[in-house]
Structure 1
């Protein structure tokens, strides 16, 4: 998917009328300045068949100006309900919602300075692209010349110039999604809420649109709050991610922090593929603890655990090497038997049953067309750098 080009293209958010004088760098920790969006002690309970069902169980989060912020979690974790409370479609049972410092609990959706894009896009099928994008401006009574200027600039940003006269049925899924984005952004909201907007697209188009969404957000310079259950989407686009589970935020951080240092077993298992190992510390010292599952085996963990203490740790599959001989040095070494080998193009997936009783997944990059480093049934050694062992909850 090509990026928009052209000498007449607006150069940034100021030309589109966005106030960027107080905008912080995307990804900057919220709280140092006035947050774009802040939730304090927010809870939401629904009544179902006479019972109270807690959808959101106490969320505290501040989203900075200009951030691409994602709410990530499985179905039913409370992420969409949280977004709907920001938008005003649902009101919190308890807690406060602030938009740019103003408490908006009780304020209707049309009075909040945010717009929302849904998975269905909700385009008017009988209207052209231009008419769909201009709809909100015309409802507000914006002058005709101003409508034409702003719609033209926004269609340029979302790479739909030249398709003004087409109707939604004449567009691809990705183009329809960009029309919905343009329609929301042309109203110049201070924040845009996106509820799984790429869910209806096929994988290749969804991946291309992830890059496009991040580009558009960077160009208009406003806060995006994005709801998704897709970990790759969140990791690709976000400045920060809130991983939700059972109505609570399990971890809040940058994509790298959440992937490399998961705070809970849930986060470790939900974000990508992770191997969770546990054991009793045999010896410790110098800021390292060592688990010794068997002769010649060791799992070295950077932590302050004491001998005899039970610890749980995680290590990512791509950090592990598979070899036939015991590794030299004082790094991690674990014996096992290959139970499955799956070729996946860019890498090969090995499942290894280890002496700890845990099955470890290993990703080995296919840097050549050589045969697999091991086959099913082979006895192997797994090795990795101790700095890739991370104690869950540390």
Structure 2
């Protein structure tokens, strides 16, 4: 599907106009004398054709943000722009966006073709164009040949693709998706993640995707906004957020993360050394925005797959921490080791089962944990 001309619009500085822009958006609910700030001072700029995810736990403000973009909720403060136009206060039916929900809301008495064609017929499109556009869209979502099927005759994944086709056939400038895969089982959900990304690339439309599932967000997104308490804790690519979490909340919410702390023993031009336990040593890169000084206590994170485990002291140049194995769990492709360090922290290590069927250590073994200093990442304070 060709991208609309408006998608290539540029502002006065010759920069591409964002598909969606939120400036200082707040949403406050008042009930029974109480005030709840669901969204607080949100600033976001989402590019044309971007797959953008709002990720966070229940109650963090992600669905409220999506509803503000859609026009189902009015912001208590701030401005919403769609393709450079201020749409704050514009009703939902006059915004050039469509929304897909977790409940597909298909018409059970209509077949697939009729469900997808519904919006076009209401807008008075000629029959020939409806047939062509519905056929094109069913091809994109891989449902060609199922035009006469009723929703009850389709799997959950197929019903989801009908809902997508119905939303996309109107050629909106942006598609908003509120946890659309939540009703599917794990196998179908993983398959639909790949399908959604393929469809989004093919149609070239901006997607904003709301989810609490970090695996979904990492798999599909160009960028992710991790939300907590109505604020964005971190905004970045999946790799940036996973490899370099900005705060303790992000480190704990995205994947499995080990949180360690210690006092800075010395600071060099590019790295700082942290004393850890009676004979442990952790080196961390110095990064912008985080104050590192001798004597200051720092908190850092290391991902489980970055850590090596073994009986011997690590080689020079590596971080090293001593501990005792408290649990060993065989996971097929990898083995998970829980280690209680000499400083009292619990650390998880993932070791790939690529060279031997036997484990590296057993419960009760004294071991050394080691990793490259560049995988130590100092955390900033949560917002």
Structure 2 length as normaliser, TM-score?
0.95
Instruction: Output the CA distance in 2 between the equivalents of 1:236 and 1:155.
Output: 24
- Kindly state the Cα deviation for residue 226 of structure 1 after the two structures are TM-superposed: 0.2
The alpha-carbon distance between structure 1 residues 82 and 52, as it changes in their structure 2 partners (threshold 3 A), is: same
Counterparts in 2 of 1:1-394, with a 5 A limit?
13-14=1-2, 18-19=4-5, 22=8, 32-303=15-286, 305-393=292-380
The answer on whether the counterparts of 1:20 and 1:221 sit within 8 Å (CA) in structure 2 is no
Deviations 1:157-194 (A, max 9, x none): 00000000001000000000000000000000000000
Matched residues in 2 for 1:23 and 1:392: separation?
39
**Where do 5+ consecutive residues of structure 2 fail to align?**
none
Give the conservation status (yes or no) of the 8 Å contact 2:7–2:83: no
Cα 1:20–1:312 change in 2 (3 A) is same
Q: How many residues align?
A: 374
Is 2:9–2:17's contact at 8 Å kept on the other side of the alignment?
no
List per-residue Cα deviations over 1:177-235 (Å, max 9, x = no partner): 00000000000000000000000001111011000000000000010000000000000
Alpha-carbon distance, 1:366 to partner: 1.2
Closer, same or farther in 2 for the Cα pair 1:319/1:153, shift >3 Å?
A: same
The separation in 2 between residues aligned to 1:119 and 1:204, in whole angstroms, is: 17
Question: For residues 108 and 140 of structure 2, what CA distance do their matches in structure 1 show?
Answer: 22
- Say which SS state the counterpart of residue 276 (structure 2) adopts: coil
Deviation at residue 284 of structure 1 after TM alignment: 2.3
Deviates more, 1:84-93 or 1:43-52: 43-52
* Maintained 8 Å contact 2:302/2:377: yes
Shift, 1:19, TM fit = 3.5
Alignment RMSD, CA only? 1.5
1:272 match: secondary structure:
coil
Is the Cα contact below 8 Å between 1:18 and 1:220 reproduced in 2? no
Q: CA offset at residue 32 of structure 1?
A: 4.0
Hey, which bits of structure 1, 4+ residues long, moved more than 3 A? 17-21
Q: Secondary structure at the match of 1:145?
A: helix
Q: Given the superposition, is the C-alpha separation of residues 82 and 21 from structure 1 closer, same or farther in structure 2, using an over 3 Å criterion? A: closer
Mapped partners of 2:9, 2:250: distance in 1: 31
TM-score, length basis structure 1: 0.92
Where structure 1 has 5 or more consecutive residues not aligned to the other structure, the ranges are: 1-12, 25-30
Aligned partners of 2:7 and 2:48 also within 8 Å: no
Kept in 1, the 8 Å contact 2:281–2:319? The answer is yes
Q: Give, in angstroms, the shift of residue 296 of structure 1.
A: 3.7
Cα distance between partner residues in 1 of 2:28 and 2:277 = 50
